[in-house]
Amino acid sequence: MEFRRLGRSGLTISEIAYGNWLTHGSQVEEDAAHACVHAALDAGITTFDTADVYAQTKAESVLGRALAGQRREGLEVFTKVYWPTGPGANDRGLSRKHIIESCHASLKRLQTDYVDLYQAHRYDSSVPLEETMTAFADLVRQGKVLYLGVSEWRAEEIAAAAELARELKVQLISNQPQYSMLWRVIEAEVVPTSEKEGLSQIVWSPLAQGVLTGKYQPGQQPPEGSRGAHAGVGGSMQSFLTDDILTRVQQLRPIADEVGLSMAQLAVAWVLQNQNVAAAIIGASRPEQVHDNVEAAGVQLPAEVLTRIDEALGDVVERDPAKTSRG
């Protein structure tokens, strides 16, 4: 495993992070989830990402149980706050009330006294940014949160939050956006702003929710048992399952073969070529998926390979910065 610094902070994280968005507490049984977490640990992954809303709070609990007994100082545990976690009007968003209450609930589910990174899961335009950042800063000063991050924020929102973080003397060090060969909306505005403000990207869906593994074929139904065929989770990836995109993705197979990588490894390695990316988050329903993906750590792709990838995918790549935060 290779490691990178997160933003301008002193925090070091594994460049492959393990996330449990669509798996723990929903798509896979708990025994399988634990097996995947232990496979991640065995592979040298130290960074684990979750959120209070995943599987209606169950994902945090599953991760907490899976990591129980591990040396806490050897792990970086990340979670998020924003989406509804209850029926009340204050059970959502980035108000001070919801941030403080959600943090306490997350710590209990994760069985830890603190999280290494607490992230605003989306921007909340209904709450003053000063209120949000002050609540986060208070959690830092209480020792319940070590560093702050955001997820799917636009460039101007990141810049405003970074200015407030400096005033409050806390460290805002990351953004967590969707990023893959097929979805590059952060490159034009978010990445340059993040570099200026001292934030790294922790990217989710580097495999475009499995599409870049090549297992989905144009003109065919998604394989049985795959994410695309799963009634509960397939909807979020439908935009990638067009024949045009799937045909282009198949053109990546000879490129992966030539550099000695699986298509999944090529996709993960590709996002890690961006110097503003500190980690790629992988998910898994089986331990062998973890073992396959971690082989992308430390891979350097030649410039000509990157050019061939661009040529193979052509105009199916989404680059419009206006689509930031729609993930």
Radius of gyration of the chain (CA): 19
Please report, for residues 97, 98, 123, 133, the alpha-carbon distance to residue 93 in angstroms, rounded to integers and kept in the order given.
9, 7, 8, 13
- Give me the helix-helix angle, 96-110 and 58-67, nearest 10°: 40
Catalytic residue list = 54
CA torsion angle for 52, 92, 137, 189 (degrees, to 10)? 90
Which residue has 């490159």 as its token pair?
187
Paired tokens of 258: 């030539």
Distance, CA of 150 to CA of 148 (rounded, Å)? 7
Paired tokens of 5: 């610094």
Those residues with Cβ within 8 angstroms of residue 178's Cβ, 6 or more apart along the chain or in another chain: 152, 185, 203, 204, 205, 327
Paired tokens of 305: 């390979």
Asked whether the beta carbons of 143 and 170 are under 8 A apart, the reply is no
Q: What is the DSSP letter of 82?
A: -
- Give me the helix-helix angle, 303-313 and 263-272, nearest 10°: 110
H or E stretch including 30? helix 30-42
Q: Identify the CA nearest to 237 among candidates 32, 246, 189, 247.
A: 246
Q: Identify the CA nearest to 203 among candidates 53, 212, 84, 304.
A: 212
Collapse the DSSP code of 166 into the 3-class scheme (helix H, G, I; strand E, B; otherwise coil) and give the result. Answer: helix
Asked whether the beta carbons of 174 and 209 are under 8 A apart, the reply is no
Q: Identify the CA nearest to 152 among candidates 122, 179, 129, 127.
A: 122
